[in-house]
């Protein structure tokens, strides 16, 4: 009998924080580095629900989804296993606070992004800054 392996669905969320910039988290679990908040879809959740939940868990922010940016599916985008992520853009107010698997949160603009960015999130951020959903 053939064993089937399927990719893991994920949702990531670029959070625009007023006019300050976007929120990134510094991961406290491997793979380390700065990342867009996000995570795995739980059974019974939509992609949108996952993005909103992950934003709250990792940054403490309640978000308002603005648009869907793109879906990323390169088999090597996550060194742990094959994942497919749908990236959303959202807006939020307030001060982000690190939670869940986020060690630190930071607010960045295109011209001051951190050096060590995890996964394919540098590519995702480049797409975001080039295409802005607004």
Which CATH number is 22's domain given?
3.90.79.10
* Residue 134, pLDDT score: 47
Number of domains in the chain: 1
| Residue 54 in domain | yes
Interval 32-68: pLDDT, tens: 999 999 999 999 999 999 999 999 999 999 999 999 9
Band (12; pLDDT cuts 50, 70, 90): very high
| Residue 48 in domain | yes
| Residue 1 in domain | no
| Residue 4 in domain | no
Checking if the pLDDT of 1 tops 90, the result is no
Q: Which domain holds residue 21?
A: 14-131
Cα torsion 30, 31, 33, 34 to 10°: value is -100
Measured distance CA(110)–CA(127) in Å, rounded: 11
Interval 102-130: pLDDT, tens: 899 999 999 999 999 999 999 999 999 99
């Amino acid at each position: 009998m053939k064993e089937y392996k399927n990719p893991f669905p994920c949702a990531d969320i670029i959070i625009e924080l007023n006019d300050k910039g976007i929120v990134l988290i510094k991961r406290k679990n491997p793979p380390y580095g700065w990342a867009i908040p996000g995570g795995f879809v739980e059974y019974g959740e939509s992609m949108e629900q996952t993005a909103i939940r992950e934003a709250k868990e990792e940054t403490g922010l309640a978000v308002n989804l603005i648009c869907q940016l793109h879906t990323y599916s390169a088999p090597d985008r996550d060194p742990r296993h094959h994942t497919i992520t749908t990236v959303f853009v959202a807006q939020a107010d307030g001060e982000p606070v690190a939670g869940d698997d986020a060690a630190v949160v930071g607010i960045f603009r295109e011209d001051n992004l951190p050096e060590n960015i995890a996964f394919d999130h540098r590519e995702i951020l480049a797409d975001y800054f080039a295409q802005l959903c607004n």
